[in-house]
């Protein structure tokens, strides 16, 4: 018997990375899981997002746990698409108990050099898209008198870092959105919380724009150069420089199995960095 038998989860940005790891963690506990993802690249970003093939692969991996799964290509920035996906999930699976508003994108630019296009790509995805996903599930969760909503922010929302003004502004915004929503739905059995990971071993962190910004002294830096530089830094906890997606899944599982006493919280999975104020 799993802790989530009979529960239905809806995940944004679930085709790969943390979203996929969370999908499998919930499936392992017996939840049926609907994974959604834009599964297409975004103009203005300099690294690839997930593909339809990765979305299909995640569905297959979920089904290996013997639960029901579906994969929907959904752009979380688009109200019609996200509302339709929620309606389809309720029609096909009967309910939505868990929302993981997890999708996100990154790029690097100083505030001074950020174009309108980049600002909009990051903020509409990382803040507005999270708002639209949360808004879409609330009526169903209120009707059920039960819901567990978790939005993914970042340790960047406990602090700041150069070149990430768009990303960090959006992630701080997610915390404000979640705390407000938590108060608004508290009477209906719905909790709303944030997970705030530090750097995670996914394509959002390991990509060419990251190597370029963190290794300005290296010509054409590669992933190997970047991993070596991370190893050389006096950073991390117990020899761990960055998280694996499954480290964040454990925090997600903790919040979705809570009996309803934690809400409006930010759960940091941050290698202790906020203790001394260094991101
Ligand atoms: N990787 C890190 O270092 C790190 C650190 C802190 C927080 N985060 C956050 O964790 C979350 C998951 O990211 P990840 O690390 O798994 O990276 P990832 O790139 O592997 O996954 C993000 C997913 O979101 C999808 N996506 C992007 N825009 C979308 C949209 N408009 N609608 C639907 N799906 C969309 C992408 O296709 C991708 O599959 C993000 O919110 C990210 O900001 C990541």
Q: Is the dihedral of CA 75, 163, 266, 237 positive or negative?
A: positive
- Residue 279: which pLDDT band, with cuts at 50, 70 and 90? very low
141/226 same-domain check = no
99 and 214 housed in the same domain: no
Residue 279 lies in a domain: no
Is there a domain that residue 176 lies in? yes
Is residue 47 in contact with ligand 1, taking CB distance under 6 Å?
A: no
Q: 187: CA distance to ligand 1 center in Å? A: 31
Averaged pLDDT score across all residues of the chain: 96
Whether residue 269 lies inside any domain: the answer is no
Better-scored residue on pLDDT, 196 or 160? 196
Q: How far apart are CA 49 and CA 94, in angstroms?
A: 30
- Count of domains for the chain: 2
Nearest CA to ligand 1 atom 7: 154
**Are 226 and 133 within one domain?**
no
Q: Give the mean model confidence (pLDDT) for residues 225-230.
A: 93
71 and 154, same domain (yes or no): yes
Residue nearest to atom 23 of ligand 1 (CA): 13
The pLDDT confidence band at residue 277, using thresholds 50, 70 and 90, is: low
Q: Note whether residue 163 is domain-resident.
A: yes
Mean pLDDT over 124-133 rounds to 98
pLDDT higher than threshold 50 for residue 62: yes
Report how far ligand 1's centroid is from the alpha carbon of 31 (Å). Answer: 22
The mean per-residue pLDDT over the stretch 129-144 comes to 98
Q: Which pLDDT score, from 0 to 100, does residue 50 have? A: 98
For residue 138, what pLDDT is reported? 98
Name the more confident of 161 and 19: 19
CA 154–ligand 1 middle distance (angstroms): 11
Q: Are residues 211 and 251 in the same domain?
A: no
Q: Which atom of ligand 1 is nearest the CA belonging to 171?
A: 43
- Structure tokens given for 11: 């995940």
Q: Is the CB of 270 under 6 A from ligand 1?
A: no
Q: Given 167, 211, 254, 279, which residue is catalytic?
A: 167
pLDDT at residue 102 tops 60: yes
pLDDT band with cut points at 50, 70 and 90 for residue 159: confident
Cβ–ligand 1 distance for 157 under 6 Å, the answer no
153 and 227 share one domain: no
Q: What whole-number percentage of the chain has pLDDT above 90?
A: 90
Does any ligand 1 atom lie closer than 6 A to the CB of residue 11?
no
Is the Cβ atom of 203 under 6 angstroms away from ligand 1? yes
Task: Give a yes or no: residue 270 inside a domain.
Answer: no
Least confident piece of the model among 30-34, 105-109, 161-165, 229-233: 229-233
Same domain for 181 and 235: no
* pLDDT greater than 50 at residue 229: yes
Per-residue pLDDT, averaged over 32-60, amounts to: 97
**What is the layout of strands, in order, in the sheet containing 69-73?**
69-73, 32-37, 8-12, 98-101, 147-152, 190-197, 266-269
Read off the pLDDT of residues 166-196 as tens digits, 9 standing for 90 and up: 999 999 999 999 999 999 999 999 999 999 9
Q: Is the CB of 49 under 6 A from ligand 1?
A: yes
> Quick check: 211 pLDDT over 50?
yes
- Answer for the pair 252, 20: CB distance below 8 angstroms, yes or no: no
Task: Ligand 1, residue 243: give the atom nearest the CA.
Answer: 3
Based on the residue annotation, tell me whether 235 is a catalytic residue of this protein.
Answer: no
Ligand 1 centre and the CA of 106: distance in Å? Answer: 8
Atom of ligand 1 nearest to the CA of 125: 31
**Same-domain status, 104 and 81:** yes
76 touches ligand 1 (CB under 6 Å): yes
- Which atom of ligand 1 is found nearest the CA of 129? 31
CA dihedral (130, 131, 136, 137) positive or negative? positive
CATH of the domain at 155: 3.40.50.720
Alpha-carbon distance values, 109 to 19, 32, 247 (Å): 25, 39, 28
Domain that holds residue 224: 206-241
Q: What percent of the chain has pLDDT over 70?
A: 99
**Contact assessment for residue 10 and residue 103, using Cβ atoms and an 8 Å cutoff:** no
155 and 44: one domain?
yes
Please state the rounded mean pLDDT for residues 44-57.
96
Residue 78 is classified by DSSP as -
Residues 68 and 117 in one domain: yes
* Inside any domain, residue 272: no
Which residue's alpha carbon is nearest to atom 40 within ligand 1?
104
């Amino acid at each position: 018997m799993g802790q989530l038998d009979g529960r239905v989860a809806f995940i944004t940005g679930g085709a790969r990375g943390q979203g996929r790891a969370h999908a499998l963690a919930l499936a392992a506990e017996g939840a049926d899981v609907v994974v959604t993802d834009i599964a297409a690249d975004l103009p203005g970003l300099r690294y690839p997002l997930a593909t339809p093939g990765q979305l299909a692969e995640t569905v297959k991996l979920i089904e290996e746990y013997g639960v029901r799964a579906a994969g929907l290509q959904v752009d979380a920035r688009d109200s019609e698409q996200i509302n339709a996906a929620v309606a389809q999930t309720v029609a096909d699976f009967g309910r939505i108990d868990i929302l993981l508003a997890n999708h996100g994108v990154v790029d690097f630019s100083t505030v001074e050099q950020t174009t309108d296009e980049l600002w909009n790509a990051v903020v509409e995805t990382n803040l507005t898209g999270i708002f639209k996903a949360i808004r879409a599930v609330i009526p169903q969760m209120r009707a059920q008198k039960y819901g567990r909503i978790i939005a993914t922010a970042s340790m960047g929302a406990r602090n700041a870092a150069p070149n990430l003004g768009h990303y960090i502004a959006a992630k701080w915004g997610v915390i404000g959105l979640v705390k407000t929503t938590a108060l608004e739905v508290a009477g209906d059995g719905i909790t709303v919380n944030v997970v705030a990971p530090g750097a995670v071993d996914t394509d959002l962190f390991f990509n060419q724009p990251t190597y370029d910004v963190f290794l300005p002294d290296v010509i054409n830096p590669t992933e190997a150069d970047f991993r070596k530089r991370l190893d050389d830094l006096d950073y991390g906890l117990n020899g761990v420089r960055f998280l694996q997606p499954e480290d964040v899944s454990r925090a997600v599982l903790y919040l979705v199995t809570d009996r309803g006493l934690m809400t409006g919280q930010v759960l940091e999975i941050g290698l202790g960095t906020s203790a001394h104020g260094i991101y």
